[in-house]
Amino acid sequence: MTGAGLKGSWRLARGAVRAAILLPILLTPAAPRANGLLDRMANFEPAPAAEDDGGSVLQRAAFIKSHRDALSFPLPAECYSSCTLLLAIRGACVERGGHLYFHSATVDGRRSPRWNAYAMGFYPQPVRRWVIAHRALGSLRFTALDWQAAQRLGVRVCD
């Protein structure tokens, strides 16, 4: 096979791998146990759930895009993983006593620097600096940010 043929085969294989990774994420139906984000999507209400376990970054990004300008958007008291991306919503606020839990994005159980970089684009600048300083996206373990520390970073506290 010529060099050009190998290069074309490699591109085709890379495309197939990308499709195999992204299609399940994009086509995964919403779980019936929808707390937090999915409840709000159904009701279009920013009523906070007690806990939001995170989920697909792409689904979360689509939700944020359609709700970015909401003037009031209480985050769940316990906001894990992709739930933290909701900080990109204009009226996002944390509940007193609440926590935001950050960890590395993963693809097939491995850390994904590419998806971490994508996620960072959703955080307000002071939160980005905190995430970097605490290496919050550098591990699969959760790094917690409590509501008072979030407030010091400029995140609003819900009334």
* Tens-place pLDDT, residues 78-131: 999 989 999 999 999 999 999 999 999 988 888 999 999 999 999 999 999 999
Beta-bridge partner residues of 102? 143
SS3 assignment, position 61: helix
CA–CA gap between residue 93 and residue 154 (Å, rounded) = 10
Residue 122's nearest CA partner among 108, 137, 109, 134 is 137
pLDDT at 53: 61
**Residue 31: predicted pLDDT:** 32
Q: What is the pLDDT of residue 47?
A: 45
Q: Which amino acid is at 87?
A: L
Question: In the structure, what pLDDT confidence band is assigned to residue 2 with cuts at 50, 70 and 90?
Answer: low
Given phi > 0 = left and psi -120 to 50 = alpha, else beta, which region is 154? left
What tokens were used for 126?
Answer: 């002071």
pTM: 0.67
Q: Using DSSP, state whether 157 is helix, strand or coil.
A: strand
Name the residue ranges covered by the structural domains of the chain: 1-30, 31-157
Mean pLDDT over the full length of the chain: 77
Give the tens place of pLDDT for each residue, 118-148: 999 999 999 999 999 999 999 999 999 999 9
pLDDT of residue 51: 62
For residue 1, what pLDDT is reported?
A: 52
Highest mean pLDDT among 11-15, 29-33, 42-46, 57-61: 57-61
- Tokens of residue 6, six digits: 């190998």
Percentage of the chain with pLDDT > 70? 67
Provide the H-helix boundaries in the chain.
3-27, 37-43, 57-67, 113-120, 125-133, 147-152
34: which 2 tokens? 């929808």
Task: Give the tokens for residue 43.
Answer: 């009701």
Q: Is the pLDDT of residue 34 over 70?
A: no
- Which has more pLDDT, 9 or 149? 149
